[in-house]
Amino acid sequence: MILILSPDTRTDSEEFRQLEVYLDRIPNVRHRIHQETGEQQLLTEVYLIGDTASVSVEDISNLPAVERVVRISEEYRVLGRHKDGNRPTWFDYNGVRFGQDTLHVFAGLCAVNTPEHVELMMQALQQQGQVCTRMGAYKPRTSPYSFQGHGKSCLPYVFELAGKYGIKVVAMEVTHEAHVVEIREALEQTGHPTGIMLQIGTRNTQNFELLKYVGRQREYPVLLKRGFGITLEESLNAAEYLASEGNRKVVFGLRGMKTNMGDPHRNLVDFAHVPVVRRLTRMPVCIDPSHSVGTRDQAPDGLLDVMHVTAQGVIAGANMILVDFHPDPAKALVDGPQALTLEELPYFLEDVRVAREAYEKRQQLAMQYHRERPLSV
Ligand code: PEP
Ligand code: MN
């Protein structure tokens, strides 16, 4: 059961104290407070955990400070929708809103290689009005002999260059809690020129201790990628680990599934699950066309497969696109064959815009259809 409190209810207020006294008296039920500081208001939710079957919704609704009570019938206690359309499906970070109704492109380097390439990438993004990017410093690799990323040594120049070119959010994979500490230190050392979205990759989707650690910090939002060989339900539960520890700023990433059925793509593209994740949870949904397709193969219509699947995800309502670009793909240290070039950036963004417009028109069409047939909803 979730109690949604009136906006701006403070935990040191008399109303809140009375509520806690009441909750403490319910046998076999614990409660946990979750607060979200938005730009305009403080949102507080109280989760009742345990034997809530006998708890009366009516009694609780009449308690001071309680605005609404939602009984949870499904899984994903914190991140699920639970038939309450009024709970937030967005969060703000470093001046950027991430929601189920927004779309951000995170074009950038799969792996940081040189300061020159980082600068060229950031410059190109600024020229196109972009405020987000991806930059890999810690790379989980299949072979222990492959390049593992520059690690913390590249962080200062990556962050400074991001700040120089107005980039507000950098998606960066972490594979160990020490990486979060290194990122925090480098941000402090450089004077916080940019923000970071911690990325948990497909190989770590069920690294529960990493999830708990990243979930316990609320400073950085998290992009959790779907596990490439587990069910969607298992991956959504992994996201719930982050939220249950306190961090609700989670974006869920689709990046294709490992199966030979997807050949000749690197993974079987799973972007048909964009609307499914949006229906089951309140998380914005990211698509990663680069790691799904894994090549620069081109269809007879002149479009690269990477661009085709991007459009498929966007037209289905995706909220974020994580995509590999490189100023000189032949020199990329990781995943060069799937990278798009800086020359292709404006073209890619325009193609995304076309697909987004089509999605918005489809959404309007659906609304109109249901408005004319109220009983069909
Ligand atoms: C990546 O985005 O660089 C990456 C390694 O992705 P994934 O975890 O989806 O393989
Ligand atoms: Mn990669």
> Looking at residue 53, which CATH number applies to its domain?
3.30.70
Given the CA of residue 204, which atom of ligand 1 is nearest to it? 8
Give pLDDT, residue 74.
Answer: 67
Please indicate, yes or no, whether residues 165 and 311 belong to a single structural domain of this protein.
yes
Q: Which of 115, 315, 286, 119 is nearest to 197 (CA)?
A: 286
Domain membership of residue 241 (yes or no) is yes
Instruction: Say yes or no to pLDDT of 376 above 70.
Output: no
* Cα–Cα distance, 314 to 208 (Å, whole number): 30
Same domain, 35 and 162: no
> Chain-wide mean pLDDT for the chain?
95
Does residue 79 fall inside a structural domain?
A: no
Report the nearest atom of ligand 1 relative to the CA of 203: 8
Say if residue 365's pLDDT is above 90. yes
Task: Give the nearest ligand 1 atom to 199 CA.
Answer: 2
Asked, for residue 226, whether it belongs to a domain, the answer is yes
Torsion sign across C-alpha atoms 279, 218, 96, 111: negative
Structural domain span for residue 54: 2-71
The confidence score (pLDDT) of residue 39 equals: 72
Query: Is the domain of 217 the same as that of 321?
Result: yes
269 lies in the same domain as 347 = yes
Whole-number percent of the chain with pLDDT over 70: 99
187 in a structural domain: yes
Residue 243 forms part of a structural domain? yes
Residue 135 DSSP one-character state: B
Domain count, the chain: 2
Give the atom of ligand 1 at the shortest distance from the alpha carbon of 140. Answer: 5
CA distance to 3, 30, 314, 343, per residue, from 339 (Å): 46, 49, 19, 12
- Are 201 and 115 part of one and the same domain? yes
Atom 6 of ligand 1: nearest residue by CA position: 201
The runs of H, that is alpha helices, within 200-273 are 208-216, 232-244
Q: What Rg do the C-alpha atoms of the chain give, in angstroms?
A: 22
Both 115 and 259 in one domain: the answer is yes
| CB distance 108 to ligand 1 below 6 Å | no
The ligand placed nearest to the CA atom of residue 141 is 1
| CATH assignment at residue 192 | 3.20.20.70
What contacts 34, CB < 8 A, 6 or more positions away? Answer: 44, 45, 46, 47, 78, 246, 248
- Looking at the fold, whether 38 and 169 belong to one and the same domain comes out as no
Same domain, yes or no: 37 and 152: no
Per-residue pLDDT band at 321 (split at 50, 70, 90): very high
pLDDT at 377 over 70: no
> What is the distance between the alpha carbons of residues 107 and 324, in angstroms, rounded to a whole number?
6
Cβ neighbours for 63, distance < 8 A, ≥ 6 positions apart: 3, 18, 19, 22
Domain annotation covers residue 315:
yes
Q: Cβ(256) to ligand 1 under 6 A?
A: no
Q: Is the pLDDT of residue 210 over 70?
A: yes
Q: Is the pLDDT of residue 352 over 70?
A: yes
Q: Residue 84: its pLDDT value, please?
A: 78
328 inside domain: yes
Q: For residue 50, name the pLDDT band (cuts at 50, 70, 90).
A: confident
Same domain, 65 and 106: no
Q: At what angle do helices 208-216 and 232-244 cross, to 10 degrees?
A: 40
The alpha carbon of 291 and the centre of ligand 2 are apart by a number of angstroms equal to 6
What's the mean pLDDT in 104-110? 98
pLDDT, position 375 = 67
Nearest-angstrom CA–CA distance, 203 and 205? 6
Same structural domain, 16 and 145: no
With a cut of 70, say whether residue 11 has pLDDT above it. yes
- Assess whether 64 and 120 both reside in one domain: no
Q: What are phi and psi of 302, to 5 degrees?
A: 95, -10
Smallest Cα–Cα separation from 79: which of 238, 214, 204? Answer: 238
Backbone angles phi, psi at 4, to 5 degrees: -100, 120
Mutate which of 142, 148, 170, 173 for ligand 1? The one with the most ligand atoms within 8 Å of its CB, which is 173
Cβ atoms of 240 and 78 closer than 8 Å:
yes
Ligand 2 is an ion; residues with CB less than 5 A from it: 110, 335
Q: pLDDT value at position 108?
A: 98
C-alpha 52/C-alpha 126 separation (Å) is 51
User: For residue range 74-98, what is the model confidence (pLDDT) as tens digits?
Assistant: 688 889 988 777 888 999 999 999 9
Same domain, 98 and 23: no
Residue 313 is assigned to a structural domain of this protein: yes
Higher pLDDT, 353 or 262: 353
For ligand 1, say whether the CB of 327 is within 6 Å of any of its atoms. Answer: no
Tell me the two tokens of residue 10.
Answer: 């403070």
Q: Judge residue 14's burial from the number of C-beta atoms within 10 Å of its C-beta, 0-12 exposed, 13-18 middle, 19 or more buried.
A: exposed
Rounded mean pLDDT of 138-157? 97
